[in-house]
Chains A and B, each alone.
Chain A
Amino acid sequence: MEQKDDLQSATARTYVYVWIGLLLLTGITVSMAGMDLGQLGVWVALIIAGVKSGLVLLYFMHLKYERGFFFKLIMPGTILLLVLFIAMVFTDIAFR
Chain B
Amino acid sequence: MSNSPLAEGSCPSLSFLEEKGRYPGLLAWILSTDHKRIGLLYFVSIMTFFFVAVIFGILMRLELIAPGRTIMDPQTYNALFTLHGVIMIFLFVLPSIPSIFGNFFLPIQIGARDVAFPKINLLSWWIYLAGAALVILSLFTGGGPIDTGWTFYAPYSLRTTVNVPLAVFGVFVLGMSSILTGVNLVTTTHRYRAPGMTWFRLPLFIWGIYATAWIQILVTPVIGITLLLTLVERLVGVGVFDPSKGGDPILYQHLFWIYSHPAVYIMILPAMGVISEIIPVFSRKTIFGYRAIALSSIAIATVGSFVWGHHMFVSGQSDFASILFSLLTFLVAVPSAIKVFNWVATLYKGSIGLEPPLLFALTFIFLFSIGGLTGLFQGALAADVHLHDTYWVVGHFHYIIFGGMGFGFFAAIHYWFPKMFGKMFDRKWVIPAWILLFVGFNTLYFPMLVLGWEGMPRRYYDYFPTFHTLHLISTVGSWILAAGLILMFGNLIRALIRGEKADDNPWGAATLEWTISSPPPMENYKKIPTVERGPYDFR
Contacts and interface: CB of A to CB of B under 8 A. Distances in A.
The yes or no verdict on A and B being binding partners is yes
Contacts of B222: 85
B2 interface: no
A87 to B, nearest CB: 10
Interface string B315-331: 01111110011000000
Interface stretch (A9-17, A43-51, A88-96): A88-96
Contact of B324 (A81, A85, A91): A91
B305 A93 contact: no
A28 interface: no
B218 A91 contact: no
A88 B309 contact: yes
Contact of B250 (A78, A85, A92, A94): A92
A92 B306 contact: no
B218 A88 contact: no
A95 B325 CA distance: 14
A90 to B, nearest CB: 9
Interface in B244-259: 248, 250-251, 254, 258
A78 B258 CA distance: 14
Interface string B230-265: 000000000000000000101100100010000000
9 contacts: A81-B305, A91-B320, A91-B321, A92-B254, A92-B320, A93-B318, A95-B318, A95-B319, A96-B317
A1 B316 CA distance: 59
Contacts of B319: 95
Contacts of A91: 318, 320-321, 324
Interface string A51-88: 00000000000000000000000000010010011001
B387 to A, nearest CB: 21
A89 B251 contact: yes
Given A81-B305, A84-B306, A85-B258, A92 B321 contact: yes
B237 to A, nearest CB: 23
A78 B318 contact: no
A78 B316 CA distance: 29
Interface of A: 78, 81, 84-85, 88-89, 91-96
Contacts of B325: 88
Contacts of B321: 88, 91-92, 95
Nearest to B250: A92
Nearest to A91: B321
Contact of A88 (B248, B250, B251, B306): B306
A81 B221 CA distance: 13
Contacts of A89: 251, 254
Contacts of A85: 222, 258
Interface in B323-373: 324-325
B200 to A, nearest CB: 16
A84 B303 CA distance: 12
Contacts of A94: 318
B218 A78 contact: yes
B218 A81 contact: yes
Given A78-B218, A81-B218, A81-B305, A88 B324 contact: yes
A92 B309 contact: yes
4 smallest A-B Cβ distances: which pairs?
Answer: A95-B318, A92-B321, A95-B320, A91-B321
A84 B319 CA distance: 18
A93 B317 CA distance: 7
Given A78-B218, A84-B306, A92 B317 contact: yes
B218 A92 contact: no
Contacts of B306: 84, 88
A94 B317 CA distance: 10
B324 A96 contact: no
A96 B222 CA distance: 24
B316 A96 contact: yes
Contacts of B251: 89, 93
A68 to B, nearest CB: 10
Given A88-B321, A91-B320, 15 more contacts: A81-B218, A81-B305, A85-B222, A89-B251, A91-B321, A91-B324, A92-B254, A92-B318, A93-B248, A93-B251, A94-B318, A95-B319, A95-B320, A96-B316, A96-B317
B251, B316, B321 pick with most chain A CB within 10 angstroms: B321
A78 to B, nearest CB: 7
Contacts of B316: 96
Nearest to A89: B254
A70 B250 CA distance: 36
Nearest to B222: A85
Nearest to B316: A96
A10 B57 CA distance: 60
Contact of A96 (B218, B258, B309, B318): B318
A64 B316 CA distance: 46
A81 B218 CA distance: 9
Contacts of A88: 306, 309, 321, 324-325
Contacts of A92: 250, 254, 309, 317-318, 320-321
